[in-house]
């Protein structure tokens, strides 16, 4: 494997859209998962770091050059990844990145918050829910696409998150993610979140083509997302990067890089 990796010349560019891009160690597990998948598709990985705030409309005024450079980098990418995170800063830029990937059929993987921003974008721009948002960022949003999980405490932030390895059953037989995982009935992946897709909107969202093909054991909590009629527009509420290994790349990351190299997933 080492010889093969050292001799790879053809590059694959993945745009990493986040708010800690100046501290790449913040995304160390995500970087490793991308590297593992790049070995499998025989490409030299190039991560193009994009500060998400530089994609939003405000940055076009406050720093036009940075805004233009960020969008140029996003448009040139073979695939787009929005990793997990917390907090409002840069969230509109992440939403715009998800929208660009959806509209232009660019391979997209959203992890945790990345799934949530893709859902928010879909509600706003496909379902016409003006002002749709997560209650994490706007408690008064007229269309709460993402909401606080009812069993989680808002006052004890660390110990009351939904944490650890949990099963996610697949609800459909034919979907990209199930094939990537080897046609298993369920996956066991690690979670770290306190917000979820609003269960009251699931039927409406799925009716428009954004499917939640994997849910928790109650069948209510959305954990795997796929968009119909797109080469690869996928989100996971869990963090698949934590179980990736050089000889066993994480299936969602592998799917992203396969799609980004033009392979059918």
Any idea which residues carry the catalytic annotation? 112, 239, 241
Write down the H helix ranges in the chain: 2-6, 28-40, 57-62, 64-76, 91-104, 113-125, 176-180, 202-207, 251-260
User: What are residue 100's phi and psi, to 5 degrees?
Assistant: -60, -45
Which tokens go with 100? 């660009």
- 82 and 110 in contact (C-beta within 8 Å)? yes
Distance between CA atoms of 44 and 23, rounded to whole angstroms? 22
User: In terms of residues, how long is the chain?
Assistant: 265
Distance between CA atoms of 117 and 137, rounded to whole angstroms? 11
Check residue 240 and report its DSSP letter.
G
Distance between CA atoms of 55 and 264, rounded to whole angstroms? 29
- 55 and 70 in contact (C-beta within 8 Å)? yes
Distance between CA atoms of 85 and 58, rounded to whole angstroms? 21
Distance between CA atoms of 130 and 41, rounded to whole angstroms? 40
Distance between CA atoms of 37 and 245, rounded to whole angstroms? 9
């Amino acid at each position: 494997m080492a010889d093969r990796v050292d001799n790879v010349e053809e590059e694959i560019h993945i745009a990493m859209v986040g708010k800690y891009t100046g501290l790449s160690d913040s995304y160390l597990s995500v970087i490793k998962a991308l590297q593992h998948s790049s070995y499998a598709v025989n490409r030299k990985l190039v991560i193009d770091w994009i500060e998400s705030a530089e994609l939003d409309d405000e940055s076009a005024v406050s720093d036009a050059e940075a805004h233009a450079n960020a969008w140029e980098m996003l448009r040139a990418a073979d695939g787009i990844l929005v990793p997990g995170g917390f907090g409002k800063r840069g969230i509109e830029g992440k939403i715009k990145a998800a929208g660009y990937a959806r509209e232009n059929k660019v391979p997209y993987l959203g992890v945790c918050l990345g799934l949530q921003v893709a859902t928010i974008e879909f509600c706003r721009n496909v379902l016409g829910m003006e002002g749709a948002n997560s209650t994490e960022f706007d408690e008064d949003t007229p269309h709460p696409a993402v909401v606080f999980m009812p069993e989680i405490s808002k006052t004890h932030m660390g110990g009351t998150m939904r944490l650890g390895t949990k099963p996610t059953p697949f609800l459909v037989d034919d979907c990209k993610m199930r094939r990537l995982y080897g046609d298993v009935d369920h996956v066991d992946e690690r979670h770290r979140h306190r917000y979820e897709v609003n269960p009251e909107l699931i039927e409406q969202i799925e009716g428009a083509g954004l499917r939640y093909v994997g849910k928790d054991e109650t069948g209510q909590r959305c954990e795997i997302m796929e968009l119909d009629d797109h080469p690869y527009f996928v989100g996971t509420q869990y963090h698949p990067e934590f179980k990736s290994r050089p000889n066993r790349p994480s299936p969602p990351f592998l799917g992203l890089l396969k799609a980004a190299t033009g392979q059918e997933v």
